[in-house]
Amino acid sequence: MNSRRDFLQKITGGLIILNLPTSSSAKAGLIDSLPYEGPVLRVALMGLGGYAKRVADGLLESKMAKLTGLISGTPEKLSNWQSKYKVAEANCYNYENFDRIKDNPEIDAVYVTTPNALHHDQVIQIAKAGKHVICEKPMAISSKEGNEMIEACNKANVKLLVGYRMHFEANTLEVVKMRKEGKLGKVLFFQGLCGFKIGDPKQWRLNKTLSGGGSMMDIGIYALNGARYMVGEEPIWVTAQETKTDNEIFKDGIDETIQFQMGFPSGAVASCLSTYNMNNLDRFFLTAEKGFAELQPAAGYGPIEGKTNKGKLNNPHRYHQTVQMDEMAGIILKGNEPVIPIDGYEAVKDLKIIEAIYKAVKIGKKIKL
Ligand code: NAD
């Protein structure tokens, strides 16, 4: 990760070094390196696993958000993370006592990075404690649960954001901007391919009770969500087919590979693949009347490589979770509007389509949305 602190060390006496490069991305990098004195979102992480570590590392470089609390069921993890990320003992909780967070003025928001099926109850409990919530994708394991989470957050008057980090990625946003400005012309077709070969057969991702589903819930959601922001419309129909090569690893309710197709009001169509059984599969392709856009990789941790009919996209790579947390702090603290929605309503749209995809697999028919 490029360190903002390393850069700041090169600045002496509050004055910025001369000989500045003049490209706009270099200027953006410079502005990004200036000290920040505005409000800061103080975040507690719930569920200290693989993804939480990425978020914690990202927060080390964020300007507008910082890690001030931890919630875990494993005391050893709590103490290791506490010393590694310099979190005060008083801001560490377990799953039995984290309701007490409501009395902690050093925590503004809780970021939920636990297995999918736990999100619903945890988000509602956090909302009841009066803290803003950032919840990982998929937001929940059903649209019904998602709606209940939205309702609980609305009732408690707290914000609910979902961890769609690609919504803040610079090359992705450049394509969305080109499409919105009509530079690509009428959108005709989107292809989204997302997958990886899953490892340990005992992990929660392959346990329906904890995951709510297989590849579609976990990685196919990127192709689905991507189709929506790349095309810029909501699908009106979907159909899908499943392929399963291993019934032992991919038990009932855990999809291994799903291909799904969607149609949009303008007549644009999408064809997507979601899988737990292929590596090197991370590509978006959009074709339109005046041009095309390709992102490959499209949804990994980056760098996201992009090109259009006009040439290569050159936005510099930034650690996704740092950008996401700064942007989310702006949304929560300043009421900023994201280019692509990032709230519970956006996430419930994906869950409803996933439900229709699973239904289409079962009945083998096109489903109207
Ligand atoms: P993980 O297995 O690495 O971490 C899950 C954490 O939850 C662990 O620390 C585990 O101890 C804890 N946990 C609490 N209660 C548990 C229970 N009853 N059973 C099992 N674990 C329990 O998983 P992860 O990869 O960090 O994924 C967590 C969430 O983050 C998921 O919703 C996943 O979809 C999401 N995620 C998002 C991204 C992204 O790029 N936005 C990437 C990876 C994961």
Tens digits of residue pLDDT in 324-355: 999 999 999 999 999 999 999 999 999 999 99
Q: HSE on the CB side for 241, CA within 13 Å?
A: 3
For ligand 1, atom 1, the nearest C-alpha belongs to 49
Return the pLDDT at 27: 44
CA of 66 to the centre of ligand 1 (A): 20
Tens digits of residue pLDDT in 246-282: 999 999 999 999 999 999 999 999 999 999 999 999 9
Query: In which band, very low, low, confident or very high, does the pLDDT at 10 lie, cut at 50, 70 and 90?
Result: very low
Return the pLDDT at 34: 73
pLDDT at 24 over 50: no
E-strand stretches of the chain: 41-46, 65-71, 92-93, 109-112, 132-135, 160-162, 187-195, 237-243, 257-263, 269-275, 281-288, 292-295, 306-308, 311-312, 367-368
For ligand 1, atom 12, the nearest C-alpha belongs to 47
Tens digits of residue pLDDT in 279-310: 999 999 999 999 999 999 999 999 999 999 99
CB of 218 shorter than 6 A to ligand 1: yes
Query: In which band, very low, low, confident or very high, does the pLDDT at 15 lie, cut at 50, 70 and 90?
Result: very low
pLDDT at 20 over 50: no
Among 178, 356, 197, 149, smallest CA distance to 261 is for: 356
pLDDT at 12 over 70: no
Residue to mutate, 57, 78, 114, 304, ligand 1, most ligand atoms under 8 Å from C-beta: 114
Return the pLDDT at 152: 98
Return the pLDDT at 35: 82
The pLDDT of 1-24, averaged and rounded, is 32
The predicted model scores a pTM of: 0.92
Tens digits of residue pLDDT in 103-130: 999 999 999 999 999 999 999 999 999 9
User: What is 38-91 written as a DSSP string?
Assistant: S--EEEEEES-SHHHHHHHHHHHH-SSEEEEEEE-S-HHHHHHHHHHHT--GGG
Q: Please, are residues 367 and 359 in contact by the beta-carbon 8 Å criterion?
A: yes
Say which CATH architecture domain 166-316+342-368 belongs to: 2-Layer Sandwich (3.30)
Return the pLDDT at 30: 55
CB of 341 shorter than 6 A to ligand 1: no
Q: Which of 85, 93, 222, 276 is catalytic?
A: 222
CA of 208 to the centre of ligand 1 (A): 14
CB of 196 shorter than 6 A to ligand 1: no
CB of 47 shorter than 6 A to ligand 1: yes
What is the rounded average pLDDT for all residues in the chain?
A: 92
The pLDDT of 232-240, averaged and rounded, is 98
Tens digits of residue pLDDT in 52-92: 999 999 999 999 999 999 999 999 999 999 999 999 999 99
The pLDDT of 168-175, averaged and rounded, is 98
pLDDT at 19 over 90: no
Return the pLDDT at 29: 52
Task: Give start-end residues of each CATH 3.30.360.10 domain in the chain.
Answer: 166-316+342-368
CA-204 nearest atom, ligand 1: 20
Comparison of pLDDT for 2 and 186, the residue scoring more: 186
Whether 222 sits among the annotated catalytic residues: the reply is: yes
Q: Which of 131, 137, 159, 349 is catalytic?
A: 137
CA of 112 to the centre of ligand 1 (A): 9
Task: Pick 11-165's CATH classification: 2.60.40.420, 2.60.120.260, 3.40.50.720, 3.40.50.300.
Answer: 3.40.50.720
CB of 49 shorter than 6 A to ligand 1: yes
Tens digits of residue pLDDT in 202-215: 999 999 999 999 99
Q: What angle do CA 355, 161, 345 make, to 5 degrees?
A: 40
Distance CA 93, CA 46 (A): 9
Task: Give start-end residues of each CATH 3.40.50.720 domain in the chain.
Answer: 11-165
Query: In b/e form, how buried is each residue of 50-75, taking b as 16+ CB within 10 angstroms?
Result: ebbbbbbbbbbbbbbbbbbbbbbeee
Reduced to 3 states, what is the DSSP secondary structure of residue 152? helix
The pLDDT of 167-184, averaged and rounded, is 98
For ligand 1, atom 40, the nearest C-alpha belongs to 165
